[in-house]
Structure 1
Amino acid sequence: MPRQLRAEQTRATIITAAADLFDRHGYERTSLSDIVEHAQVTKGALYFHFAAKEDLAHAIMELQSQASRQVTSEVDGRGCSSLEALIRITFALTRLNVEGPITRAGLRLATGGVEVRPPLRHPFTEWLELAIRKLRGAVKESDVHPDIDVHAVAHSLVCFFVGTRVGGRPLEPVGRLPRRTAEMWLLLIRGLVPVHRRPRFLTLATQLEREIGAV
């Protein structure tokens, strides 16, 4: 195997192992020795790629941010209405959380005392701007009541979305996340969407929850 490919695979193994430990035990309670043991690599291999635990945490947060932006881009490429796109993006992010530890760990690190270094942006800020943009579009498309406070709704949505993941982590299995995302949308749709437009979005939320559960 070429040396560069081996190095890339080793780096990916270290990141995945660290993400799993950060997600399960937190940043402070995870040592570099724990990561070396979990990844089954040498300390030399770890230090070749990461000079400190903080650098490893930042690499995970970068991957989480990249995954979020990719999901948003893919959904936007489908040409959905603004509200449908926002619903689909939140469920796509939920799927990422269910499928692997990197996005879960990235969010826990960003909300758990690890500094988010520029040019990386905090996921809460990125998601808040996304929600504001999509909700404004939904108002223009008449999928949301025109008199809503877009900023307040966007803030509440992101707090609900993030809080479910952060607060529910020690209480519920990760497989419960699709249900929580669906519950969030069933509440929001009934409060935001005109009655005659609700069935489409309520059906979409239920369908997307079911699709994640079937994976």
Structure 2
Amino acid sequence: MARQLRAEQTRATIITAAADLFDRHGYESTSLSDIVEHAHVTKGALYFHFAAKEDLAHAIMELQSRALREVAGELDARGYSSLETLMRITFSMARLSVEGPIPRAGLRLATGGVAVRPPLEHPFTEFRDVAGRKLLGAVKESDLHADTDVDAVAHSLVGFYVGTRVVSRSLEPVARQPRRLAEMWHIMIRGLVPVTRRARYLNLAARLEREIGLV
């Protein structure tokens, strides 16, 4: 048991080190030797867990996918409206990206052309599907206009969300992401939510930004 625990800890250390380097320098510019040095492990330890750099990238994207599913599942269980759940998912994922390198590296890998191996879905496809289900629920709950094109909005939301994070990462500290995310939601709410329900969700966006506590 102790040996297994040490192996799991070593694997987690390697993944975190790789994620940090992928996030800061990019996938192509990071070598396995860089990861070994950054993780303070031997090459033998790295190759015991990962045969190639692509395996590390895949492990990071798997963790990112798992985080999205866990966040969505936890929020689904709380009984929020569909639109509130979707908003909370985006803020929760932004918080995770501020707190650790794995979600940030996952985003950079997803936008950098790194191949996603089946059965894992591309992170953007998975997020678009989650968003589509929540947006459809929001239409049924009358929190979005009845004529909302759910597929188009889901696709646009993914582009807006990813673009906001990428641009924010490039131009300002990562801790500013919740502010940019709140701005994104203010724009979308004004265009999608009926006037009678708009104040509720505008106030929610401001509250979720404050709850993250990083601005």
Q: Distance in 2 between matches of 1:156 and 1:69?
A: 20
Calculate percent identity across the aligned residue pairs.
Answer: 78
| 2:100 matched residue in structure 1 | 100
Q: Deviations over 1:159-212 (max 9, x none)?
A: 000111223322221111101110110011111111111111111111111111
| 2:44 matched residue in structure 1 | 44
Equivalent residues of 2:178, 2:214 under 8 A apart: no
Tell me the amino acid that sits aligned with residue 175 of structure 1: A
Q: Deviations over 1:95-154 (max 9, x none)?
A: 111110101111211221110000000111011111111111111111111112111111
| 1:182 matched residue in structure 2 | 182
| 2:153 matched residue in structure 1 | 153
What secondary structure is seen at the aligned counterpart in 1 of 2:70?
helix
Shift of 1:60: 0.5
Tell me the amino acid that sits aligned with residue 208 of structure 1: L
Provide structure 2 residue ranges, at least 5 long, that are not aligned to the other structure.
Answer: none
Tell me the amino acid that sits aligned with residue 194 of structure 1: P
Tell me the amino acid that sits aligned with residue 184 of structure 2: M
What secondary structure is seen at the aligned counterpart in 2 of 1:61?
helix
Residues 1:84 and 2:84 are matched in the alignment? yes
Tell me the amino acid that sits aligned with residue 171 of structure 1: L
| 2:142 matched residue in structure 1 | 142
What secondary structure is seen at the aligned counterpart in 2 of 1:51?
coil
Tell me the amino acid that sits aligned with residue 163 of structure 2: G
Q: Distance in 1 between matches of 2:33 and 2:167?
A: 28
Equivalent residues of 1:64, 1:106 under 8 A apart: yes
Equivalent residues of 1:139, 1:145 under 8 A apart: yes
| 2:9 matched residue in structure 1 | 9
Tell me the amino acid that sits aligned with residue 36 of structure 2: V
TM-score by length of 1: 0.97
Equivalent residues of 2:128, 2:158 under 8 A apart: yes
Deviating more after overlay: 167-176 vs 64-73: 167-176
Provide structure 1 residue ranges, at least 5 long, that are not aligned to the other structure.
Answer: none
Tell me the amino acid that sits aligned with residue 190 of structure 1: R
Residues 1:211 and 2:214 are matched in the alignment? no
Shift of 1:214: 4.8
TM-score by length of 2: 0.97
Q: How many residues align?
A: 215
Tell me the amino acid that sits aligned with residue 139 of structure 1: V
Computed over aligned residues only, the root mean square deviation of the Cα atoms, in angstroms, reads 1.3
Q: Deviations over 1:24-46 (max 9, x none)?
A: 11000001111111111111111
Tell me the amino acid that sits aligned with residue 92 of structure 1: S
What secondary structure is seen at the aligned counterpart in 2 of 1:169?
helix
Q: Distance in 2 between matches of 1:168 and 1:190?
A: 22
| 1:191 matched residue in structure 2 | 191
Shift of 1:73: 0.3
Q: Distance in 1 between matches of 2:114 and 2:20?
A: 16
Equivalent residues of 2:143, 2:193 under 8 A apart: yes
